[in-house]
Amino acid sequence: MSNLEQTLSIIKPDAVERNLQEEIKKNFIENNFIIKKEKKIQISKSEAEDFYKVHQSKPFYNELCNYLSSGPIIVMILEKESAVKENRKLMGATDPTKAEEGTLRKKYGISIDKNSVHGSDSIENAKIEIEFFFKF
């Protein structure tokens, strides 16, 4: 049975700043993700606060929102069978020092904040996050 899903991926400011977007996109394509839509944008602090509102009680929330709004990002809709889970596997652990060899965060991440990529953590959040960035 087909289990085609979509998930939201963000190439974060640290990776765009180092011009890694094409290389990171190549990883998605080689792992059989289809990039359905993509755009390069820079969001405001308040948009970042809205996007990351699930983390608003966390001590790192303010830093996180400053960071995501600090420079251009690439937002993408990725499609694949079990896309949410498969993207999380490809990204690796949130903290690059704990991420497995071969994962995006291991290869490109600098720190837990500058971990190069974001991916939706559930099918429900994927829908919310896709709507957030591609509503118009």
Note the residues at the interface with ligand CMP (CB under 6 A). 55, 60, 64, 94, 112-113, 115, 118
Give SS3 for 79. Answer: strand
In the bound complex, what is the minimum distance in angstroms from residue 18's beta carbon to ligand CMP?
Answer: 16
Q: From the candidates 69, 106, 118, 119, which is the catalytic residue?
A: 118
Cβ-proximal residue to ligand CMP, closest one: 118
In the bound complex, what is the minimum distance in angstroms from residue 8's beta carbon to ligand CMP?
Answer: 11
User: Has 118 been annotated as catalytic?
Assistant: yes
Q: Which amino acids are annotated catalytic?
A: 118
